[in-house]
Structure 1
C-alpha cells in the first residue's frame, strides 16, 4: 500500500470569521470523529495534516500543496463551504471525502461534489477507502458501516490533534469526549432518533480522564453524547475512578428525566458545571422531561420547578426549545415559554426553528409526503436562519411575529439583567450576557425582523416561502456570497440548490 499525504478538515464554522465569539469559542466546538479518522490514517502508515477550521485559517496554505487525499467533516450549515473546498482540491487532482452529519443527511447531493461520501464510519471503512483510493467521478461513492463504531481512539491516541486545536482557544479550552453513541429516545425530528443507543467502554473513559489530568490541573471537558447519563451509575463510577471529586469541569447535554435529585448530587460532586436539557415542547415529547402525562401550563410549572432545582447543584443551564412543531398552534406555546422564562430566570433559553435535515429522521419523510419541505440552501439550515418546513398551524408572517416577540422577550435588556442577577459565578454570568447580545440573541432578532419585512414587502420572497416558486431570493444568495468570501468563486455550479424531496423519491 502506497503511503498517502492526507489532509483532514473539521469545519466547525461555515465561513471566514473574525468575530470575538468565534475567536473565543470556535476551537471548543471541534468534532471527535475527524480526530479519530486522523489517528486511524496515521496508524495505517499515512502522513496526516489536520485543521480544525475556526474561520481564521487559510485552508490552502495550511494543507500541504502535494496532498493526495482530503477528508472534510461538515454539518449541513457548512456544506456549501465544504463543496467549495472540495471543488478547489479536486481541480488540483486531489481525491476528496465528505463525512459528518451532512454526509448522513444528504448523501446523494454530496456525491455530486466528492469522490467518497461516508455515513457511519469505522476503522474498516477507512482502511478500505485508503487501500482503494481512486477518483470517483462524476458521481462519488457512498460508503457506510451500517452503525456507529463500538470502539474509538482514546484521547491519548488523538492528543496531538486535540492539542493543536486547543492552542487556538485563548481562554476556555474544552476537550471533547464521548461516553455513548445514539439515543434511547425517539424524538421524531432528531438525527439520533433512529441510532441505537450504545455505551462506550467505561474503562476507556476512566483512562481518558486520567490522561487529561497529566495535561491540565482541572480540565474542561465537553461530553458530545446526544444524551448524557443514560447509563448513569457506570458513567459516574468511571469518573470517580479516574480522580477525586471535582477534579474536572464537565459540560453535558442531558434530559430532565435523568436529572433527579440523587443524580444531581452526584453530578455536582463530580464537577458538572453546565447542563443542556431539552424541553422541546409544552405539548409533546414529555418522555424526556418526566412529563409525558401533562401539557401546557401544568407542564410549564413542573419544568420550571425542576430547572430551578437543578440550579441548586449546577451553576449554568441552557433549556432547549423547538419552535414550529405540529403540536403548536396559536399564541399559547409562545406565551407559555415566556411564563417559563419568568419562572426560571437563571436558565438561558435556546430556541431552534423546526428543521428537516434530509434523511436524518423518519418525520422528515412525512413532511416530504405532505409537500411541506422547502429547498432553502444548506447554508441556512442551522436551526435558526431558516425553517425549511412550512408550519402546519401558522401563516408565515404570523409565525415570525410570534418568534420575534418571544426572542425580544427572552433577550430584552430587562431579561438579560434578570438572568445576570439570578446567575451565580462570573463565567456563567459572562456567558449569558455574551450569548444574549451576540448573533445568538440580538443578531437573530435583527435577522428575523428582516425576514418578516421581506415576507410582507417582496412577493417573490413570499412565494419562495409558500413553495410556489423555486427561485432563490437574491437576499439569500447575497448572504452566501458575502459569507464565503474568497471561496465563493469555487462554489460548484448548482450547489445553491438541492432536491428537497430526495428522501421521499428514493423510498417510493
Structure 2
C-alpha cells in the first residue's frame, strides 16, 4: 500500500521573536540552519509536499504559519524554545503532528517531549522516513528518537537551493550561503555540545560540486561554513577551493581554532578568499589545546594569543574573538582585566562575550553541575549566551560577577574602543559592520537592568541564588512581550523547566541507543 502524501511545514527559528536592530536585519537571514533545509530535501525525496519557513524576526510569524499542515518540523536553539512550544501547540490544535529537532531537542529532550510528538537528536534520512511513516500523536509525552550517528552525507547547495534562495532574498545586501564540510569536533571542551560528537568529514566531492553550482547562481557569492571547527583537514579543503574557485570569485567565513591558524594556513586562507574568521579563545586559564598556547595561562597566554590574533588580522580582514565569562577557572578581577588587556593589544578584533551556560544534556560537565545543585531554572528564552547565566558562579557573588561583566562590556563597547577598532580594521565593510554591532549596546543595557534588580528586587536575587523557583515577574513580562500574539498559545507550565532533567533521567533510566525503527514502532 502506498504511503499517504503529507503536507509538511518546516520552520527554522533563527531567532526567538520580533527584531528591530540593523545588525539583525542584515545578518539573521544569513544565520539559517542547514538541517531544516536538509530535512526539507529528504521529505520531498520521500514523496511529500514541503513548505519551508525561515523566521528571522522581521516576518509576522502568526501569518507565516497559517495554512494546512499534516506534519510540522521545527528547528530551534534553546533561546527560541518558548516560541517553538507555542507554535507546536497551535499546530496540534489544528490536528497536525509536530516534530522538534536542532540544538534544543538535543539539549533538553525531556522538556521538549512535553510539547512535541517527536523529539529528534542526531538525525538522518532513515529517522525522518520512520517519523513520516508513523506520523502519529504521542501525548502527553512525545517520543525521543535519535540516529546512531551523524549522516555520512547531506544534500548539498544545489539540492537545498529552493530553500536557500528565498531566505537570502530577505537579506538587504550581504547574502551568505550556508555550507558544511564536517560535523562533530576533535576537541573535548567539557562545556561544548560538539565535544561529544565524533569528528566526521563529509565528502569533498560534494563541496566541489556545491562551489561550482554556487558560482553559476550568484556573482561573487559569500559562503558561511557551518563546521564546528573549520579546517581540521585543511589541505583537502584548500585543494578543492583551489581547483574550482578562481581567485576572488567566492568569499568565505568560518569558525576555527587558533591551533589550526598557523601562518602558512593563513596565507592559504587569504589566497582562497577567506574574509572572516571566528576563533574561540574562551578562557585565559584553560583550553590551551584550542588556542595553541599549551600550559600557558594568564598574562603569558594573553600576549601569545594577542600576537596570534594580530597575525591573523594581517591576512584576514574580519576577526571575531569568542570569550566565555564565568567559567570555574575564573577568580577575582584578573580574568576580566586580562581580557581588557587583550582588547588593547589586539584592537582590530571584535570581541563577543558569552555567559557560561549549561545547556541541559549538551555536555558532560552539565551533569556534574546539576549534581552540585548549581544549575538554575532560567527560562529558555534567556539562554542565548548573553541575557542570562544559568550556572551559579563558583568564585563570585552575583553582584560581583555582574560588576565585572558590566565593566568589561562597557569598556569593549565604549566609543574610544569602537573608534580604535575602526582605525585598526581594513576595509570599509569591516569598519561599518563592527560599528553597527557595537553601537546599539542592548547587551549593556540588559546587564545594567539585571545588576539593578539584584539590589532592588528580592524575587530576582532569590531566584538567581537558587533560594526560590518562582519566576520573577520582570522575566515573565519580557517573554510575554516578545511572544506577542503567540503568548496565548504557550502551553501551561512552558515558562519553566526541570533544570536537573539530565541528571534525573540518568538516575531513573540508563541511556540506550535503540534501533530507530523499533523505537518508533514500539
Instruction: Give the drift of 1:22.
Output: 2.4
Q: Residue by residue, what CA displacement relative to the aligned partner does 1:400-419 show, whole Å, maximum 9, x if unpaired?
A: 00000000110101000000
Aligned mate of 2:408, from 406, 415, 418: 406
Residue in 2 that maps onto 1:344: 346
Structural mapping, 1:359-374, within 5 Å: 359-374=361-376
Residue in 1 that maps onto 2:514: none
Q: Residue by residue, what CA displacement relative to the aligned partner does 1:43-63 show, whole Å, maximum 9, x if unpaired?
A: 111000000001122344334
Aligned mate of 1:17, from 8, 16, 19: 19
Residue in 2 that maps onto 1:426: 428
Unaligned runs of 5+ in 1: none
| Aligned partners of 1:49 and 1:63 also within 8 Å | no
Instruction: Give the drift of 1:322.
Output: 0.4
- TM-score for both structures, normalised by structure 1: 0.98
1 CA distance for matches of 2:261 and 2:145? Answer: 38
2 CA distance for matches of 1:343 and 1:195? Answer: 35
1 CA distance for matches of 2:229 and 2:378? Answer: 29
> Is 1:485–2:487 an aligned residue pair?
no
Residue in 1 that maps onto 2:32: 30
Residue in 2 that maps onto 1:174: 176
Residue in 1 that maps onto 2:519: none
Aligned mate of 2:152, from 150, 153, 158: 150
| Aligned partners of 2:22 and 2:436 also within 8 Å | no
Structural mapping, 1:93-492, within 5 Å: 93-438=95-440, 442-492=441-491
| Aligned partners of 2:62 and 2:485 also within 8 Å | no
2 CA distance for matches of 1:272 and 1:352? Answer: 25
- Secondary structure of 2:337's aligned partner: helix
| Aligned partners of 1:247 and 1:270 also within 8 Å | no
Unaligned runs of 5+ in 2: 508-522
- Secondary structure of 1:22's aligned partner: helix
How big is the alpha-carbon RMSD for the aligned residues of Structure 1 and Structure 2?
0.9
1 CA distance for matches of 2:44 and 2:242? Answer: 32
Instruction: Give the drift of 1:19.
Output: 3.2
2 CA distance for matches of 1:401 and 1:64? Answer: 45
Residue in 1 that maps onto 2:520: none
Instruction: Give the drift of 1:132.
Output: 1.1
1 CA distance for matches of 2:61 and 2:326? Answer: 37
| Aligned partners of 1:326 and 1:391 also within 8 Å | yes
2 CA distance for matches of 1:261 and 1:20? Answer: 34
- Secondary structure of 2:256's aligned partner: coil
- Secondary structure of 2:470's aligned partner: coil
2 CA distance for matches of 1:460 and 1:404? Answer: 21
- Secondary structure of 1:460's aligned partner: helix
2 CA distance for matches of 1:92 and 1:283? Answer: 52
2 CA distance for matches of 1:430 and 1:171? Answer: 13
- TM-score for both structures, normalised by structure 2: 0.96
- Secondary structure of 1:335's aligned partner: helix
2 CA distance for matches of 1:363 and 1:40? Answer: 34
Q: Residue by residue, what CA displacement relative to the aligned partner does 1:91-149 show, whole Å, maximum 9, x if unpaired?
A: 11111110000000000100110011111100000111111111111111111002211
- Secondary structure of 2:33's aligned partner: coil
Instruction: Give the drift of 1:244.
Output: 1.9
Residue in 2 that maps onto 1:66: 68
Instruction: Give the drift of 1:304.
Output: 0.4
Residue in 1 that maps onto 2:85: 83
Residue in 1 that maps onto 2:497: 498
2 CA distance for matches of 1:473 and 1:139? Answer: 28
Q: Residue by residue, what CA displacement relative to the aligned partner does 1:262-314 show, whole Å, maximum 9, x if unpaired?
A: 00000000000000000000010010011121000000000000000101100
Moved over 6 A (4+): none
Report the CA distance shift for 1:85/1:401 in structure 2 as closer, same or farther (over 3 A).
Answer: same
Count of residues paired in the alignment: 505
